Amino acid sequence: MSLLAHHMKKDARHLRWLLGLWVLLVAAEALLINFGNRAEPDNLPAQIAYQMISVLLPMLQYLLVIVMVPLLVQDEPLVGTTAFWFTRPVPRRLLLSSKALFCLLAFVVLPALVELAVLSINRVPLMDVASVAPEIIFSALLRLACAFALAALTLNFARYAIVGAAAIVAIVVISAAVTLTMLFVFGLEETAFAKPASLLVSRSIVSNVVVLLLCLATIVNQYLTRRTGWSVVLAVLAIAGSFAVSSFWQIDFMQRETQAPADSVVDCEKLSIGPRFESADSSTKSFGRRAKATQRVRAEVSVHGLPPAHVADVAAMRTRFTPEGEEASTISSTNRETLYYRSDWTKKNLSDLFPGLRIIGQDITYSRYADILTLPPPQYLELKNKRGALDGEADVLVDRLVVSHTFSLEPGSRFHEGPVEETIGEVNAESGGVIILVRRSQLTRNWARLRKGTRPGEENANKRKVYYVLVNRERGEVVMPNDDSFVDFNFSSFPFHLSVKSFSLRYPADRLAERESSFAIDADWLAGAELVRLARERVAECTVAFHEDDFSMTEDLSSKARSVHKHTIPADDLAP
C-alpha cells in the first residue's frame, strides 16, 4: 500500500462518522433535486417545507465542509511547533497530495458526480450537462479552497472558527464600505445595482478565479515552506483581489451578442422612440456630502415601428438638452432604464400571433419608465420651465413573439427544449374554467452568456419571457390566463442548478368571467382546446435616435415627439 493511500486511509478513519453524514446529505440533496417540488402550488405548508429543506440542505452541506476540512487539515497542523508529524518522516508534498486528493474526492468529485447524474436522469441534454459541469466543480472547489486555506493558516479548530468569523465580518464590512464608497463617490451608475447582469457574471467569475488561485497558492506555500507570514499575505491578497475585481472589472465577456435570425423582419431604421414625459415624476438622488445630488427626469418610453408580434425593451438612453438660445448650457446624461414590469402579452400582440382568432382576456398594462435626463438640482430648477432641444438615442432590444410549443390537454404532454422541460401534470376543470398544472424542470447556468437585458435563468422561465394561452381553433378563441394564476407562487429551489417545480395556469380569470359573461370554458370547449406556449426570441439590438425641438422638462410632450432613426448594427452582424 502506498504511503499516500496509507495516509488517506488514516484520514478516512478519523472522519468516518462525519464522512457518513456527508454522503447522506449529498444523497438527500440528490433526491430533493431529482424529485423536485411536486407539491401543489397552492399547498402552502408543503411549499414552505420544500423551500426550507432546499435551503437547509445546502447550508448543512456547507457547514459540514467547513467543519470537516479543518478537522482533516489540522490533524497535521501547519502552524505552531508541537505537531506530531513535524518529527516524523512524512514528506510535505505527500501530505499535501494526500489532503488535497481526499478533499477533492469527498467534497468535489462525489457531489459533482451525483449532481451530474441527477441532471442526466432528468433528461437534461448531454451538452448542457457538460456545460454546467465546470460551474458545479468550480463552485465546490472554491468553497473547499477557502476553508482549506483558512485551516492551513490556523493551529486548531477554535482559532479557525474565530479567524473565519472575523474574516467574514471583515468581508461584510469592507464590502459595505466599498459599495457605499462607490455610491457616494461615483454615484449609483457605478455600483453593481446599475450594471448589466452579464457584467456582474463576468466580475463574479473573474473574482472567484482570483480567490481560487490565491487560495491554492496559500495552501501550496504553507505546505511546502510553512512560512505562515507569506501565506497570510497571499490570503489577504485573495480577499483584496476579490473586492477589486468585483468593483472595478469592466470586461464583459459573458454578454451574448444577438445574431438575428435569417427570417427577421426588423429594420432598425424604421424604429422610433416616442417619449411621453411625466412632468411630476422627477426625483432627487443624493448620497452623502461629497456625492453629487441629481435630479432625474423620467418618462414612459415606447418604441414605434415594430413589426407585428414584436416587442422591445429600452436598455439605455443617452440624451442631450440644449435650452433655446443657450448653447453653453447644454447638458447631457446617460441613463439606464428603470426596470418596471410591463406585460408584452397584450391582446394586440396575441392577435398578431393568432390572426383571425378572438382573443379573450384583459391586457395588463404597466408603465415602463426610463430616466431621460439626469442633472444637478439647481440646474433642474433653472431649466425646468425652459424650452429647448432634446436629442437622444436609446439602445433598444427587439424580441419576436413566437409559438414555442403546443401542448395537448392531457397529463404527460411534454415540451422539451434544451435545458427546459415542461410537462402537463393535471388538467382540472372548474366551474366556467380550467386549472392546468405544469411541472417544469430547468437547468440554470450561472455562467451562461447572457443577452442584453436578461438575467441568469430568465430567458426560459421568467413570465415576461414565456406565456401560455389556451386556444380552441375550432371555436376560433384564444384565452389569456388569469393574471394571478401565472404568478407561480410555489417556491424556487434556488441553490440547485436543476430546478424542478410546478405551477398552475388558470383559465379564464375570474374578473374576465364577469366582463365576458357570454364566454365559459366547459368540457366541450376543452375537448377541442390546446395549451400554447409562447416565448420571446431576440431578433435585433438597435440604437434609435430621437430629436425634439420644443422640449420642456415639465410638460407632457407625447403629442409632439418626433423621431429620427439611426442604424447602428450592420446588416452583416445580424446575419445568423
Partner 1 sequence: MSDELAIETYGLCKRFRRKTAVENLNLNVPVGSVFAFLGPNGAGKTTTIKMLMNILSPSSGEGAVLGCPITHISPEIMAQIGYVSENQKMPEWMTVGGLLSYCKPWYPTWDDAFCDRLLKQFDLPMDRKLRHLSRGMKTKAALLSSLAYRPRLLVLDEPFSGLDPLVRDEFIRGVLELTEQEQWTVFVSSHDIDEVERLANWVGFINDGALTVCEPVASLQSRFRKIEVILAGETTARPVLPADCLLPEASGRTVRFIDGAASVPDRMEELHRLFPVGAQMSASPMGLRDIFLTLTRHGRVQKERGAA
Contact 311, 208 (CB under 8 A): no
Give min distance, CB of 91 to partner 1, in A. 5
Look up residue 100 and give its three cell numbers: 488535497
Look up residue 279 and give its three cell numbers: 412632468
Please, which residue, 75 or 483, has the CB nearer to partner 1? 75
Give min distance, CB of 14 to partner 1, in A. 6
Q: Mask: binding to partner 1, 417-456, rule CB under 8 A, as x and -?
A: ----------------------------------------
Q: At 551, is the secondary structure helix, strand, or coil?
A: strand
CB contact burial 79-103 (16+ within 10 A = b; e otherwise) = beeebeeeeeebeeebbbbbbbbbb
DSSP state of 292: P
Residue 57's contacts (CB-CB under 8 Å, 6 or more residues apart) are: 25, 28, 29, 32, 495
Contact 4, 97 (CB under 8 A): yes
Look up residue 325 and give its three cell numbers: 438660445
Give min distance, CB of 99 to partner 1, in A. 15
229 lies in the site for partner 1, by CB under 8 A: no
β-strand pairing of 477-479 with 358-360: parallel
For 423, the enclosing helix (H) or strand (E) is strand 420-430
What separation in angstroms does the CA of 23 have from each of 60, 114, 136? 12, 10, 17
CB contact burial 440-473 (16+ within 10 A = b; e otherwise) = bbbbbbbbbebbbbbebbbbbbebbbbbbbbbbe
Count the Cβ atoms, other than its own, within 10 Å of residue 423.
17
Contact 54, 495 (CB under 8 A): yes
Q: Which of residues 89-108 bind partner 1 (CB under 8 A)?
A: 89-91
How many residues of this chain interact with partner 1, rule: CB under 8 A?
18
Q: Which of residues 73-92 bind partner 1 (CB under 8 A)?
A: 75, 77, 81-84, 86-91
Please, which residue, 83 or 409, has the CB nearer to partner 1? 83
Give min distance, CB of 289 to partner 1, in A. 43
The piece of 2-10, 123-131, 190-198, 463-471 that touches partner 1 (CB under 8 A) is 2-10
Name which position in 6, 123, 414, 511 contacts partner 1 (CB under 8 A): 6
Contact 226, 83 (CB under 8 A): no
Please, which residue, 83 or 180, has the CB nearer to partner 1? 83
Please, which residue, 9 or 455, has the CB nearer to partner 1? 9
Give min distance, CB of 114 to partner 1, in A. 28
1 lies in the site for partner 1, by CB under 8 A: yes
The piece of 5-13, 47-55, 139-147, 290-298 that touches partner 1 (CB under 8 A) is 5-13
Sheet harboring 466-472: ordered strands across?
331-336, 310-323, 388-408, 529-551, 466-472, 477-479, 358-360
Please, which residue, 3 or 100, has the CB nearer to partner 1? 3
Four-residue CA torsion sign, 63, 64, 65, 69:
positive
Q: Which of residues 40-79 bind partner 1 (CB under 8 A)?
A: 75, 77
Give min distance, CB of 226 to partner 1, in A. 9
18 lies in the site for partner 1, by CB under 8 A: no
The piece of 10-18, 20-28, 37-45, 473-481 that touches partner 1 (CB under 8 A) is 10-18
Give min distance, CB of 22 to partner 1, in A. 18
Give min distance, CB of 68 to partner 1, in A. 14
14 lies in the site for partner 1, by CB under 8 A: yes
Strand partners, 321: 331, 390
Please, which residue, 81 or 365, has the CB nearer to partner 1? 81
β-strand pairing of 294-304 with 369-375: antiparallel
Please, which residue, 227 or 562, has the CB nearer to partner 1? 227
Contact 496, 57 (CB under 8 A): no
Give min distance, CB of 159 to partner 1, in A. 14
158 lies in the site for partner 1, by CB under 8 A: no
Please, which residue, 82 or 431, has the CB nearer to partner 1? 82
559 lies in the site for partner 1, by CB under 8 A: no
Give min distance, CB of 101 to partner 1, in A. 17
13 lies in the site for partner 1, by CB under 8 A: yes
Give min distance, CB of 435 to partner 1, in A. 58
d(CA 303, CA 258): 19
Q: List contacts with partner 1 (CB under 8 A).
A: 1, 3, 6, 10, 13-14, 75, 77, 81-84, 86-91
